[in-house]
Every structure is written in structure tokens, then in C-alpha cells.
């Protein structure tokens, strides 16, 4: 995009093509990619959380990652075809709802997980088990936190693509090529 700004005038934009906005979209995408790379590394941690915790969060986390991926795919189609998307705002709304579901699942996790530990009469033993369970849960909490952060980054990409759409005068999705 930096070199493209030096191209001769062409197309409907002449010299006014929004190359700088493409750079902003690229920066937002890189930021999102960094979080995805961190998620990949965190998901392969040596320390594993309990199966109860994994089961409790797996469905909502899968839904959130799926919704985030759908938004990114739709954004790439928009840029590739220089067309706006009618369904993009609905997809972003669904992604935000999935984030809220993850937050709700996280709030209900401590009571569920504490019930798994059971009641112990020995306070030292109980503290040791809680400390151990906390350490085991850290990688899973990191993954969940990164998934939510990725959704925020995807929203940032969506905002930059929307700005590009306006500047580059993307056609409505219903128009024919």
C-alpha cells in the first residue's frame, strides 16, 4: 500500500484512492493475528485444566471463535469485492452476544468448580487443593481471555473496513458487478 500510493492515477479515484486506510486495515489485522498466535501457543500448554472446567467452557468458546471467524471471512470478502455487506452488522452483533455468553459461563464457573472440590474438614488440605486447582485453571483462563480479546480486535478490523468502505465507495452488496 505504501508503494501503491505512487501509482499513476487510474479508475474512479484518480489520485484519491484511500491507500492510507488500507494500511490501517492491515495494522488492525496484524494486531488480531498476534492475539490469534498467542491463543495458539496458550492452547498447547503443558498444564491442563480439569475436564469439568473444559466441558463447562468449551461450547461457549467454540461459539465465540466461530462467530469471530465468520466476521473475519465476511470482511475479507468485502475488501476483495469492494462491496459492503448487509449481514456484517448482524454477524458482529452475534459475536458480541457470544462474548457475553462466555462472560456468563465464566461467572458461573467458580461455584461449579468449588463444588467439584467438595467439602474438606482440614483447612490446610482445602487451601492446597484450591491453590492447585487455580494453577491448573490458569492456561484455560488465558485461552478464554484471549478469545475475548480477539473478538475486540475483530471489532477493530470491522471498524477500519467500514471506514475503508466509505472512503473507497464500496458498492452495496445487492448491486451487480
pLDDT tens figures, 58-108: 999 999 999 999 999 999 999 999 999 999 999 999 999 999 999 999 888
Number of domains within the chain: 1
The answer as to whether 157 is a domain residue is yes
The answer as to whether 115 is a domain residue is yes
- Residue-wise pLDDT for 107-161, tens only, equals 887 554 555 445 445 566 666 566 656 777 788 889 999 999 999 999 999 999 9
Q: Which residues contact 148 (CB under 8 A, 6 or more apart)?
A: 64, 99, 102, 103
Q: What CA–CA distance (Å, rounded) separates 109 from 139? A: 15
The answer as to whether 175 is a domain residue is no
Please say whether the beta carbons of 105 and 62 come within 8 A: no
What pTM did the predictor assign? 0.79
The answer as to whether 177 is a domain residue is no
pLDDT reported for residue 124: 64
pLDDT reported for residue 48: 73
DSSP 72-89: HHHHHHHHHHTB--SSHH
The answer as to whether 107 is a domain residue is yes
Give the domain extent around 147. 4-8+16-167
The answer as to whether 173 is a domain residue is no
Amino acid at each position: 500500500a505504501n508503494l501503491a500510493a505512487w501509482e499513476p492515477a487510474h479508475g474512479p479515484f484518480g489520485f484519491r484512492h484511500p491507500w492510507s486506510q488500507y494500511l490501517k486495515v492491515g495494522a488492525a489485522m496484524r494486531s488480531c493475528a498476534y492475539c490469534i498466535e498467542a491463543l495458539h501457543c496458550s492452547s498447547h500448554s503443558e498444564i491442563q485444566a480439569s475436564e469439568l472446567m473444559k466441558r463447562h467452557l468449551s461450547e461457549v468458546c467454540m461459539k465465540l471463535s466461530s462467530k469471530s471467524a465468520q466476521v473475519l471471512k465476511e470482511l475479507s470478502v468485502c475488501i476483495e469485492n469492494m462491496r459492503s455487506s448487509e449481514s456484517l452488522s448482524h454477524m458482529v452483533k452475534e459475536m458480541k452476544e457470544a462474548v457475553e455468553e462466555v462472560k456468563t459461563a465464566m461467572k458461573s464457573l467458580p461455584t461449579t468448580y468449588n463444588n467439584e472440590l467438595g467439602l474438606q474438614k482440614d483447612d490446610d488440605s482445602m487451601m492446597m487443593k484450591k491453590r492447585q486447582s487455580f494453577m491448573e485453571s490458569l492456561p484455560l483462563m488465558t485461552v478464554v481471555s484471549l478469545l475475548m480479546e480477539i473478538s475486540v480486535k475483530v471489532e477493530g478490523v470491522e471498524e477500519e473496513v467500514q471506514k475503508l468502505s466509505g472512503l473507497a465507495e464500496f458498492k452495496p452488496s445487492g448491486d451487480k458487478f
